Structure 1
Amino acid sequence: MAKAAKTKKRSVPMIVFSRARDIPFNRIRLSDSNVRETDVEAGLDELTQDIDRREDLIQGLNVRAILDADGNETGDFETPAGGRRYRSIARLVTAGRFPVDGLVPCIVKKADAKTSAVDDSLAENVHRLALHPLDQFRAFKRMVDSGMTTEEVAAAYFTTPRYVEQRLRLSTVSPKLLEIYAGEGMTLAMLEAFTVNPDHARQEQVWETTQRSYNRQPWHIRQALTQTTVPASDKRARFVGIDAYVAAGGPVLRDLFETDNGGWLEDVPMLDRLVSYKLKATADAVAAEGWKWISVDISLPYGHDHGLRGLTGTGAELTDEERATRLALREEYERIEAEYGEVDGDLPEEIDQRLGEIETALDELANRPVIYDPADIARAGVFISIDRDGDLVVDRGYVRPEDEAPEVVEGDGAEADGEAGGDDADGEPAVRRTVITIGGQASEPEEEEEGDAIKPLPERLVIELTAHRTLALRNAVAGNPHVAMTALLHRLVLDTFG
């Protein structure tokens, strides 16, 4: 039986690319076939600066030979694809940075090209894909890691150092979340919110909770990532000062994408210790004045002075030097007001600043320290706290009912005098130590009680533990919608049928 004849496979014509050549710039001209005709100068400053910076072209010109009337090559070329690069090189020639006959790398279109010059020009401008933002973040990081500064990167890509810093921060987000962003699982605004906290585990935990939540707004993500921190606007942070907190080793979370008012202080126990140390130092200084007791707290409870008698002291008199200073300040203030009183609009900055300085100095002279009777100081106390702006508040002169001087009964003068005098058996005045309490706890350690009895936890620690428990319950409820719905239904039933 004869074998079947084998069918010959048809050969596929192979592609032959156009050749590359270096052509003197003065033998190249712009092609009328270039499709970019609108706003051709847009972005040329940046492109010219980039070529000048790297002293090279990333991509050569696409050119075609110019033919004479007989169809022969003239030795000159036109560029239908690469007009912007051509214009930038022309600018460098004018600026003396590139010779007019300098060699330019080109792709010379082959004679039997199947596409037109217009086709080539359109394809170069259409068939291009913008870089994914994530690739830009990573590219900036690689450039900085290789030795470039953020300022150099910003200058090279015509942006600001802050923009580069923001992109560098985005590249530090959890790799798991970056992949989700790359797959369009979250928006750029959401990814920016995750940069607030550098803890990858915490970022991923918040993302898992966010996925199960109806609220996926960036502000909600920021709130979740900073729940256990203290904002820099908190009065405790203002009282201690951010610089002092950082100097003590405290970390600060910052948001490079939104106004964060100074950020968030992450180490809350350290902040509270610094507050306590500073308040205790103030209390020790005030105790040297001879007060019987001092009560210190970050926030004094409402009615803390209820039932106490406030002392009435006398304001300290101004010295002759202080009076002269006050008079000079008032005269200067009146002179400035007379000079600029008729000026329309805002005052010059230096004049406005000087008026503020004068007002501050006059206020300090007006608020004179109050002088109390030493006998009253010995039985009275002081409240020390922090106001809402983080400023120290020292409120002196309060007498408790039990510390009031006993009434003298006729015939018992000797006993009363002895009781009020407080002398010891040798007739010497008794030395009293000011009792200082901070947050309801004595600042000095008490004598250890006998036995191994369990002592109550400090109030501040109880508050912190309660906050952590509340946060844990919130996360647990947020991660279990059916539990949240059941709890809500239970509350509604109680309120309705209670």
Structure 2
Amino acid sequence: MADTNTTKKTTRSKKSTANDALKAALESIPVGMQPVSALIRSPLNVRTTAYAQKSIEGLAATILSVGVLQNLVVHALPDDLYGVAAGGRRLAALNHLLETNAIEPSYAVPVKVVPEELAVAASMIENDMRVDMHPAEQLAGFRTLAGEGKTPAQIGDLLGYPARHVNRLLKLATLAPALLEALAKDEISVEQCQALTLTDDHERQLQVWTTAKQGMFHSTLSADYLKRQIINNDIAVSDPVFRFVGQEAYLAAGGSLKQDLFSAEDEIFADRLLTEKLLQEKLQDEAQHIQDIEGWAWSEARLSPVRHYGDDAKKYQLCWPEPAYTIDERAKINELQDMVEASATYDDENELQQRIDDMEYKAIARQVTPEYVASHGVFVSFEDGELNVQRGVLLRTEEDIQAIEVAEAARVMSYRREPEPVDDISLPLLTKMSSERTLAVQAALMQQPGNAVAMLAWTLCQDVFGRQEYNNPMTVRLTCNHHSLSQNAPTGTQGKAWLALMAEKERLAGELPTGWQSDMTTFFTLPGELVTALLAFCAACAIDGVQTRESGHTSRSRLSTLESATGFHLRDWWQPTGENFFGLLTKTQIAAALTDAGLNDAARDTEKLKRADAAARAEREMADNRWVPDWLRSPDVTTDTSDNTTTQQAA
């Protein structure tokens, strides 16, 4: 039999080694005290994204209760000030307390004063440990250290990144400034930027990026596509773009042609960059010519036409008037349309349709007055191999653009979820505890067969009512994740919920008739009470409340409504101990938990203890109450930590 035991890796990551190196350097520097009024955000701090307000307020409450448990890393600045390079969230919390008059400007804060070089490294490592740094932030830090003469390998050794990763990000420094700004705003991805760095020509980078965006509005703009646009500088002379530019104009501009002897029919190619440049110039000439002849207020030209959506909708308004018919014209058009329906030949139909089109043109032309032309413009582009002219385009005012941007920002914000305190919980701990919580909810629901069967019926009805029925046999399926839940839950196969579930499973298995798996009719004669118990157990086992995290945001628990409806409380099934919970927290989080439970004296004492001792202390303090972290209980459940009572408020 194969050995199924796995050996845990003991090799430490390069980043962990770098953290240890920085830690060793910091340990040699003594801790000093500085008033909070002397601390400001360091210009060397690589973090550019803001902290969540709830996170700041929560940390501020902990600091007010137990003080600053971990020193800040600072470097000296002029005017007796100190820049905080590591500890930005603590500084934000302290400033919050200062602004709310909870502390005085003289409030002493523990700090370690380090040289600037160490400050940059401390800032990058701290920010990267807490949340993956934005590539623009990494690039800023790497460039600072590279400017001090460090090689990519040295930067990687200092900060715990592979030299190849440092090299790749430093290569982004060759991007046009506008693209670097777009990267910081998440308007362009790192992969897209890397593709554009295949050329150092800023004008070429911007041209490829802008043209690609305009031409692929509805599609995903892949890095491979951008790479092909950078690398592939050839265009076939049979291409509509080249034919529109004209070979004579191309050769006159210094272009050359080359023949691909390995292509079909020995196709001839021209330089794509020069061809597109000449195309842009010809479009602009065409636009200016139409403006001069027809008298439009302005003209513009580009490769793609104006759209009524996206960025174009902010800058332009398509205002070509609809036909305004007189009563006689409308009657005549109705008459002609009836004649079209009754026409015997295509020639007759085309002749009648031409008369309708002529009347439409005149009805529109009457509205294109000199005043209209003087306030609108003409836009020329190249679409589907042909010149495309859009007349009557209105340029929006700055006020209009700002109003649209404000409305769009409000719409985006309405869908954007602000970070919550649970987002500060590590993903491994979130997985462990939401698995523990899921097992407990399963065990509790199993003991309420009526609710469990009702839950199953509700689930099945969502797939039945309102949908077309088929003649297939029942295809209901459920997923039982007991293996992964027991592997992830800190109590594993020794927890109260797991033992209760397995005891009921064993009991029910003993009640099943012989041969039931191969003969569905054996269930037809089972007592109703047993069928209900089986349904209740299976329905309970289908409950899945394991939470995930994407892009820094934690998925909301799907258990809250069910918990509220069934009177569930996690402490009926799970007791927090040093091993299964508190030992998985940081000292700061342990102190925050004790503070949340109203145990302020114990919270303050944890500052003097090692983490293992602090976890053991928390286990003892919490043994006789009903405290549960707010992220492990439904919102309408409040816990009285003074005894073993729980209050459930009306939702």
Bigger Rg, structure 1 or 2: 1
Specify which structure has the bigger relative contact order, considering alpha-carbon pairs within 8 angstroms and separated by 6 or more residues: 1
Higher helix share: 2
Say yes or no: TM over 0.5.
no
